[in-house]
Structure 1
Amino acid sequence: MFFHVKELQYRAKPAKPDPVYARKLQEVLGGQFGEMSVMMQYLFQGFNCRAEKKYRDMLLDIGTEEIGHVEMLCTMISQLLDGAPADQVDEAAKDPLLAAVMGGMNPQHAIVSGLGAAPTDSNGYPWNSKYIISSGHLLADFRANLNAESQGLLQVVRLYEQTTDPGIRDMLSFMISRDIMHQNQWMAAIAEIEQMDGVIVPASFPRERTVEPATRQFLNFSEGEESAEGAWASGPLPDGTGNFEYVAKPQPMGEAPVLSVPADHQHSVPGTGPYVVNPGVEPLGE
């Protein structure tokens, strides 16, 4: 059961309307790494969680908080759209500076959502469930959560630097603070699970069934050997099974593929052997 409290988790009131910035905020609302994505990701992971109750409870705690962040962003976007465009469009045409500002707004805010937020990104692309990850494997999911919070925080910080509105910055400061906290939570949870189950996902695949040398080799597949200087190319493997090995010049381990051609697609061309053409289409060359 969910219970909605009318008060927002934190303040969400701009100093003045700004329809262009409202469009920008749509990215951290309905974009790939926006609040709608982490809300749905954490809630679905929680709903589907079969592990210890503490993990399910944590997921639902954070996921439910993200519902509140979605509401905060919607509230901020709606207020940034107040007064624009209905009674300002005509005046905007008379003022080149204002016209430029109004021209950068999302027209769907006026046409579709009635000067309100929409479940879309900053270009109007609809939010979709392909953005979220809920695999049922805690370590894999928590690493995805850490990535989502990292990318989301990066975008919010960039947006913070693109405004001087004290009200917007106040709300974004709070959201940045919570994203920092959530990154720390996921890192703590990841470390706890790695301590129990190891660092490889999944840990259940028998190592004797792997191509063992391939589990430790760093293959230099691009020009230059600067990558050999990293901790990922020498020293102990994080999973504790051996050491990294740097292979400066990887060699093919398989053979060149030779594929058979279906009989109804074969034509005999002297000196060239069989080749594939579209059925019923005659060759144009000699």
Structure 2
Amino acid sequence: MFRHQKELQFEVKVDRPDPMFARQVQEVLGGQFGEMTVMMQYLFQGFNCRGEEKYKDMLMDIGTEEIGHVEMLCALISQLLDGATPAEQQKAAEDPVTAAIMGGINPQHLLVSGLGGLPSNSNGVPWNGSYIVASGNLLADMRSNLHAESQGRLQVARLYHMTTDEGVRATFRKMLARDRYHQYQWMAAIQELEEKNGVVVPASFPPEAEMESQPEAYEFWNLSEGTESSEGLWATGSAPDGTGDYVYVSNPVPKGQIYAPVIPATELHHDLDGKASDK
């Protein structure tokens, strides 16, 4: 079950309305790496978790917190839209630079939500369930969570520098702080799972089936001009799990055959012989 409390997790109080900035904030609400995505990702991972109870409990804790972050951003967008009218859209259009960069007010904030937040990104594209990852493999999912938090925090940090409204910035600072902890949290979970099962996903796939001893499992292929990539840790030393040493292949050559597809039946109308089918 879920239970809602009326108080927001942190205070949301803007200094002044800014309908055009409300449009930008939509990205961290309903964009690919917005709060709606991490909320749904963590909750579905938690709902479906079959591992140790501590992982399920942790996922449900943070997933529920993200519901509160969605609520905070809706409150922020609502305050930024206070007093917005169609005249504001016209005002933005009078400044070509502003219109080109910001795109003016999102008309759906007026027409669809009545001055409220929307489940969409900054260009009005609806949020999509395909943004989330919930594979059932804890290590794979925790790595995806770290990626999502990293991208989301990056976008909030960019928005922070796009406004001088101290009230908005105060809200963003709280979000940045929580996103910092969430990154720490996923790093800790990843470390714990790697120590338990190894660093490669899936750990349960039998090595003999993949023939892990084959050289391709440790080779870096130089397939772009230059050799600067040879200077990275991925090209020298040993694999993280100690099962082999990396090899830098400076001039890789193909190891497969030249593939020639079979000519399909004429009913598929590829017209490969230059003639149309008479059927």
Residue 111 of structure 2: aligned partner:
111
Cα displacement (A) at 1:224:
1.2
Deviations 1:40-82 (A, max 9, x none): 0000000000000000000000000000000000001011000
- Residues 276 and 89 (structure 1 numbering): CA distance in 2 closer, same or farther, change over 3 Å? same
Cα displacement (A) at 1:280:
3.1
- Mapped pair 1:203 → 2:200: no
Report 1:217-228 matches (<5 A): 217-228=219-230
TM-score w.r.t. the length of structure 1 is 0.89
Residue 58 of structure 1: aligned partner:
58
Structure 2 gaps of 5+ residues are: none
What is the alpha-carbon distance in structure 1 between the residues aligned to residue 156 and residue 15 of structure 2? 18
Deviations 1:12-44 (A, max 9, x none): 111000001100000000000000000000000
Residue 139 of structure 1: aligned partner:
139
Q: Give the share of equivalent positions with the same residue, in percent.
A: 59
Question: Which 10-residue stretch deviates more, 250-259 or 66-75?
Answer: 250-259
Residue 268 of structure 1: aligned partner:
none
What is the alpha-carbon distance in structure 1 between the residues aligned to residue 70 and residue 128 of structure 2? 15
RMSD value over aligned CA atoms? 2.3
AA aligned to 1:179 is D
Instruction: Specify the SS of the correspondent of 2:248.
Output: strand
Residue 280 of structure 1: aligned partner:
277
What is the alpha-carbon distance in structure 2 between the residues aligned to residue 28 and residue 182 of structure 1? 16
Contact in 2 for aligned 1:92/1:99 (Cα 8 Å): no
TM-score w.r.t. the length of structure 2 is 0.91
What is the alpha-carbon distance in structure 2 between the residues aligned to residue 183 and residue 210 of structure 1? 32
- Residues 251 and 105 (structure 1 numbering): CA distance in 2 closer, same or farther, change over 3 Å? same
What is the alpha-carbon distance in structure 2 between the residues aligned to residue 194 and residue 72 of structure 1? 34
Counterpart of 1:246 (choices 245, 248, 261) is 248
What is the alpha-carbon distance in structure 2 between the residues aligned to residue 173 and residue 180 of structure 1? 10
Contact in 2 for aligned 1:15/1:165 (Cα 8 Å): yes
AA aligned to 2:234 is W
Contact in 1 for aligned 2:89/2:104 (Cα 8 Å): no
Structure 1 gaps of 5+ residues are: 266-273, 282-286
Cα displacement (A) at 1:96:
4.7
Cα displacement (A) at 1:206:
1.7
